[in-house]
Structure 1
Amino acid sequence: MKHLKKIGFYSAFILPVLLVVGFYLGGWNMLIIHAFVFILVPLMDYLIKTDKSNVPEGEISAVSKEKFYSMVTFVWVYVQLGILVWGFSVISSKTLSFAEWLAFSTGMALVTGGIGITVAHELGHKSEKLEQFYAKVLLMTVCYMHFFIEHNRGHHVRVATPDDPATSRFGETFYSFWWRSVKDGFFSAIHLEEERLQKKGVSFWSVQNQMIQFILAPILFIGFFTMVFSQIQNRFTWEVPVFFFVQSFFAFSLLELVNYIEHYGMSRKQLSNGRYEKVTPLHSWNASHMVSNFLLFQLQRHSDHHAFAYKRYQILNHYDESPQLPQGYSAMIILALFPALWFQVMDKRLEEWKRKTWVDR
């Protein structure tokens, strides 16, 4: 079982394969990747039991240090860069109908956003410079590099409080949340970086300002590849930057859907001194559905991640006392797009969990 679980984390690489195969088969086959993520994965999550097993305490140190697990994430970085450049080639050399173009763009976003941002999230929490660099590269490919600042120094500090843009409120639709989280998260990252520079006595307009670097990097990246493919096609390939920014939009919107799901209605108690209680596994929604956790490097064990952000994905724990999602993220994303259905399913579950849990707090 242990070796099966290790191999399971390579299932993420199914997505770029499906994108490529679907494109070359053409027609409705371009939606194979969408069908896999939003139909087959939820079905498998439903049919296959949840995995609530945790790494035994005596094995945690050894498992945490196994190079196999980090190698999977490192390989992903190069696969994503390769598949994105292949996408530039396709979009600049093939004539696609609008429906085909949209299918291809959203399919790419499932790769760069669905898996890529998940890997960037995992690597961005680590102290090793190489892992942080890889996280930034992945976030550059979806124009969301400020996430590196806001998520680590903002979201993890303010989660489950009114001060956190990435914590969805009770009764808030995803569409209202998206605008608030995207806008306020970006400005929060600017403020956090400004504070960091002030402490060092460095000007905001210094080259040391990561936000300036993070805004320019995607522009320079796509500018370079637009120039390359313009030279190859012997014309200005305007399709390349349009495709890049559109797939980025869908990719980071997918991230915001996940943010919405992970923290819906969660709140920490404010103490008498004005501060909030410590973050615990009670402050994020958890899902231990086996198939989607393989695809997402156990991101769905989000309760443990927020309680212990330093832990690597392979040793994240399941907690029965955490609020539990009825299904994995693939199914919950679809539900979140339909507010009436979302509220019908989640509000009752949230209130029931609070009644059972908060009595003991």
Structure 2
Amino acid sequence: MNIFHYAKFLLIHLVGLTALLAILAGGHWMVLGLVTVMAFYIGGDAICGDDTTTPHFIHPGVLTCMLWLALPLLMMIVGAFIWSVSPADVGNLGASLSHYIGYDLVAAKQATTAWQHGAGVVLVGLMIGTIGTVTGHELTHRTWDPMSMLIGRWMLAFSFDAAFSIEHVYGHHRYVATAQDPATAPRGRNVYWHIVASTLNGNISAWQIERRRLKRKGLGLFSLHNAVLRGYAMSLVVLAGAYAIGGMVAVSYLILCGLLGKALLEVVNYMEHYGMVRDPATPVQPRHSWNTNKRITSWAMFNLSRHSHHHAQGEVPYHDLKPFPHAPMMIGGYLTTLVIALIPPLWHTLMTPKVLDWDKSFATQEERKLAMTANQRSGIDSLRAANALPHYHP
């Protein structure tokens, strides 16, 4: 096995280290760090094209360690930013580190403006949404591995979303592309409403799933057995750590970063399944997710972009996911598509033809009926008529 196939998945760690250095350097470096990360993902996907290779890995333990290493990296990134926004140099850590590296971190921290810290919030929120949520997502699918589950839930706790490990695995993967799935955005929905609706309904779904599990086992709902409550407690521990470092100022900044990270997750949910419909009697197929094989997205997000295979076989580890080049394809790589999703008129202009093509090229006869109803509710039928697009007849 070529060592490169292992090393390519270290890209997400290099992105995190870049963010960490930018945060510690302070000032305009925070802004530059944000620009660099976004340019890496968006520009890299535009330049480097697709990766459709399917290597066989003989040392999967190495790939699991790469996932586990993301937790200390995320803790350092968040800790560095909390230190940066805190009023004091807690524990004299900045001065001590400055002595060894020859760069005055304390002076840089003091010179960082509110606007630059604003860029830092976006950068850290992006790291929570990528290093935290992407890795946490992969780890919490490994329900057979308690250590991976624990690490994954701690990573999700930074976005106040450990409940995701319940709803996503036992709810979303069962109900994807149906009206019962909070994470599947119906046709015509605005992304900003989806962030709110999916967050609220996802937590409600997680609570219901956990309540049924505890009832089957004869365990109390309000107890340490409740994984939803334990997940909320994990997030409180993260906030308590921020308070210990920088008081309420640090807590306030961390809340902003965590909520942004959670919002990014919901935008990704929006992108991955927007407008999809599925006959509930039909098993989940690769055609029920929007896929992309953009090289940088795949390598620097643990193959999350191979989403069609992931939903068809949720237990398959990231390194074994296949590219499915003939599955429905996103507009571009993940960050490119995310930016477009945040501009609703542009999103609907680009996605409506893709959704209508999905009806024609991928839907079953029963799903075409569901699609016609969805099109009528969303107003897509009017747009189709205005542009002389063909109707699909079941």
TM-score by length of 2: 0.83
Q: Which moved more, 1:90-99 or 1:125-134?
A: 90-99
**Counterpart of 1:195 in structure 2: which amino acid?**
R
**Counterpart of 2:304 in structure 1: which amino acid?**
L
Compared with structure 1, are the counterparts of its residues 64 and 309 closer, same or farther at alpha carbon in structure 2 (3 Å cutoff)? farther
> Residues 18-97 of structure 1: matches in 2 within 5 Å?
18-55=18-55, 59=56, 63=57, 66-92=60-86, 93=88, 94-95=109-110, 96-97=112-113
For the pair 1:250 / 2:255, whether they are aligned, the reply is no
Asked whether the equivalents of residues 31 and 116 of structure 2 are also in contact (C-alpha less than 8 Å), the reply is: no
Tell me the secondary structure at the aligned position of residue 99 of structure 1.
helix
Asked whether the equivalents of residues 15 and 33 of structure 1 are also in contact (C-alpha less than 8 Å), the reply is: no
Asked whether the equivalents of residues 64 and 314 of structure 1 are also in contact (C-alpha less than 8 Å), the reply is: no
**Structure 1 partner of 2:379:** none
Relative contact order, higher structure (CA 8 A, sep 6+): 1
Asked whether the equivalents of residues 146 and 214 of structure 1 are also in contact (C-alpha less than 8 Å), the reply is: yes
Tell me the secondary structure at the aligned position of residue 188 of structure 1.
helix
**Structure 1 partner of 2:138:** 122
Q: Which runs of 5+ in 2 are unaligned?
A: 89-108, 367-394
For the pair 1:104 / 2:128, whether they are aligned, the reply is no
Tell me the secondary structure at the aligned position of residue 142 of structure 1.
coil
Q: 2:275 aligns with which of 255, 265, 271?
A: 265
Give distance in 2, aligned partners of 1:211 and 1:261.
26
**Structure 2 partner of 1:287:** 292
Tell me the secondary structure at the aligned position of residue 358 of structure 1.
coil
Shift of residue 64 of structure 1?
Answer: 6.8
Compared with structure 1, are the counterparts of its residues 64 and 266 closer, same or farther at alpha carbon in structure 2 (3 Å cutoff)? farther
Shift of residue 36 of structure 1?
Answer: 2.8
Asked whether the equivalents of residues 115 and 295 of structure 1 are also in contact (C-alpha less than 8 Å), the reply is: no
**Structure 2 partner of 1:233:** none
Shift of residue 8 of structure 1?
Answer: 1.1
Asked whether the equivalents of residues 105 and 247 of structure 1 are also in contact (C-alpha less than 8 Å), the reply is: yes
**Structure 2 partner of 1:234:** none
Q: 1:153 aligns with which of 164, 170, 182?
A: 170
Compared with structure 1, are the counterparts of its residues 33 and 169 closer, same or farther at alpha carbon in structure 2 (3 Å cutoff)? farther
Give distance in 1, aligned partners of 2:242 and 2:358.
50
Describe the superposition over 1:248-269 as per-residue Cα deviations: whole angstroms up to 9, x where unpaired: 0011111111111000111112
**Counterpart of 2:39 in structure 1: which amino acid?**
I
Describe the superposition over 1:61-120 as per-residue Cα deviations: whole angstroms up to 9, x where unpaired: xx2752121111111111112222222222213444321221111111111212211000
**Counterpart of 1:108 in structure 2: which amino acid?**
V
Give distance in 1, aligned partners of 2:262 and 2:187.
22
> Residues 205-244 of structure 1: matches in 2 within 5 Å?
205-227=222-244, 229=245, 237-244=247-254
Shift of residue 45 of structure 1?
Answer: 1.1
Compared with structure 1, are the counterparts of its residues 348 and 26 closer, same or farther at alpha carbon in structure 2 (3 Å cutoff)? same
Tell me the secondary structure at the aligned position of residue 216 of structure 2.
helix
**Counterpart of 2:47 in structure 1: which amino acid?**
L
Asked whether the equivalents of residues 24 and 80 of structure 2 are also in contact (C-alpha less than 8 Å), the reply is: no
CA-based RMSD of the aligned residues comes to 1.9
**Counterpart of 2:62 in structure 1: which amino acid?**
F
Q: Which moved more, 1:40-49 or 1:245-254?
A: 40-49
Aligned residues: 343
**Counterpart of 1:318 in structure 2: which amino acid?**
P
Tell me the secondary structure at the aligned position of residue 69 of structure 2.
helix
Shift of residue 193 of structure 1?
Answer: 0.8
Quick one: percent identity of the two aligned structures? Answer: 25
Asked whether the equivalents of residues 64 and 315 of structure 1 are also in contact (C-alpha less than 8 Å), the reply is: no
For the pair 1:346 / 2:340, whether they are aligned, the reply is no
Q: Which moved more, 1:155-164 or 1:21-30?
A: 21-30
Tell me the secondary structure at the aligned position of residue 238 of structure 1.
helix
Shift of residue 25 of structure 1?
Answer: 4.5
Tell me the secondary structure at the aligned position of residue 320 of structure 1.
coil
Asked whether the equivalents of residues 38 and 334 of structure 1 are also in contact (C-alpha less than 8 Å), the reply is: no
Of structures 1 and 2, the larger Rg is shown by 2
**Counterpart of 1:118 in structure 2: which amino acid?**
V
Give distance in 2, aligned partners of 1:276 and 1:38.
40
For the pair 1:302 / 2:307, whether they are aligned, the reply is yes
Give distance in 1, aligned partners of 2:199 and 2:187.
18
Q: Which moved more, 1:255-264 or 1:20-29?
A: 20-29
Q: Which runs of 5+ in 1 are unaligned?
A: 231-236, 270-274
**Structure 2 partner of 1:323:** 328
Tell me the secondary structure at the aligned position of residue 3 of structure 2.
helix
Shift of residue 291 of structure 1?
Answer: 0.9
Give distance in 2, aligned partners of 1:268 and 1:36.
39
